[in-house]
Amino acid sequence: MSSCPFDHHDPAFVADPYSIVDRVREEQPVLHSELYGGFWLLTRYEDVTHAALDYETYTSSVVGVTIIPPSQPRKYPQIPIELDPPVHTRYRALVSTLFSKSRVEALRPELEALARRLVEPVAARGHGDLVAEFAVPMSVGALGRFMDLPEEDQGKWVGWVRRMFEKALTDPDDQRAAVREIEAYLDGLIAERRAEPREDFIGLLLESEVDGHRLTDDEVRGFGILMLIAGHETTAGAMGLSLLHLARNPEQRRWLFGDPALVPTAVNELLRFLSPVQVFGRNAARDIDIHGAHIPAGDVVALGYGAANHDPREFPSPGECILDRKPNRHVAFGHAHHLCLGANLARLEIAIMIETFAALLPDFELDPVQPHTWKARGDVRGLASLAVRVAA
């Protein structure tokens, strides 16, 4: 099977991935690209979910391969996402209780108050940038409260994550510097918790054991970096994309804002339809033959979560956002063993966003003078800016 110049970081893909992957899914369901060192892309729902489940064939245990190209040059794994069962299962169990629905729901009053504080100035002013003024501070604020990290450090996290993700494509030296800075920050937190133990996210990890040993600093750092990146970048992307969709579709916005009972199913459908995580890397643990393609052992294989979420074999009328869609077995949070630990927190943030905008800023439209802009990466897709104004 011949290679093609498929590029998930091309601006055309970032702005509209489905016009590209919808065609690829039908014509070349297993596609090879020579970009970024070379990788294979799976685009059909059945293939993506099977690969996510079959860790013995599609392994996650190669450091740095989950993001293409890697966003962090490092030798230690992000835990637990770069581990396979049964090791993955043991590490994931350490923190699974922290992500329970009841613990996440306990954050609701604080997150509702945060959302109101962010939306009120935009509503009073009549215009604003919903990425800079809402999606980013809301996701970072929720993450900080969840991990019990200093509020004054929030700006640092955003800068580090942005440089780690976006500078991989344009400025590798600055990207490496950002990795060193976030590692030093986490190492400082680890040292503080060792000196003065606390019952927070880092403190829990330091007190945890796997297979009879306490977690090393590298293991705690791997957990921490994953949380700071995945907990912020993907959720901010989901909220920004959702607000863009609601600005473009006022009839759907009015329907959603007028029916609170619709919110849970609407959150799932927005995640399916928009799919902030478009592709996610694995490695072929052995030779794979699929749809006439031969994938040699060791090659990078990208799971096309966004493409799978628009597969008509699984989702009737996949190109339509159907806010009351049921069933909805989307893979916006991944699938199987690596189903996103933070799914409950992300859903809560998006639900609170909908409820807050319905109450405080129900009628908004895109600013005709300042068009929205996109971030550079297309694997974790999101807006760089979203200027809106109160609708006439």
Neighbours of 215 (CB within 10 A): 21
Neighbours of 371 (CB within 10 A): 10
Question: What is the C-alpha separation between 232 and 52, in angstroms, rounded?
Answer: 23
pLDDT of residue 147: 86
| pLDDT tens-place values along the chain, 392 residues long | 445 679 999 999 999 999 999 999 999 999 999 999 999 999 999 999 999 999 999 999 998 888 898 766 677 788 899 999 999 999 898 888 888 889 899 999 999 999 999 999 999 999 999 999 999 999 999 998 988 888 888 888 888 888 887 777 778 888 888 888 988 999 999 999 999 988 888 888 888 888 888 888 888 888 888 888 778 889 999 999 999 999 999 999 999 999 999 999 999 999 999 999 999 999 999 999 999 999 999 999 999 999 999 999 999 999 999 999 999 999 999 999 989 999 999 999 999 999 999 999 999 999 999 999 999 899 999 999 999 999 87
pLDDT digit string (tens) for 347-390?
A: 999 999 999 999 999 999 999 999 999 998 999 999 999 999 99
Up-side HSE of residue 48: CA atoms within 13 Å toward CB?
32
The CATH number of the domain holding residue 177 is 1.10.630.10
Bridge-based pairing of strands 30-33 and 39-42 is antiparallel
DSSP string, 101-153: HHHHHTTHHHHHHHHHHHHHHHHHHTEEETIIIIIHHHHHHHHHHHHT--GGG
Rg over alpha carbons for the chain, rounded to the nearest Å, is 20
Domain that holds residue 195: 3-390
Bridge-based pairing of strands 300-304 and 279-284 is antiparallel
Q: What is the DSSP code (8-state) at residue 279?
A: E
Domain count, the chain: 1
pLDDT of residue 85: 94
Would you state the structure tokens that stand for residue 355, as one six-digit string?
Answer: 């409820």
DSSP string, 48-104: HHHHHH-TTTEE--STTTTSSS-SS--SSPPTTTT--TTHHHHHHHHHGGGG-HHHH
pLDDT of residue 3: 56
pLDDT digit string (tens) for 296-339?
A: 999 999 999 999 999 999 999 999 999 999 999 999 999 999 89
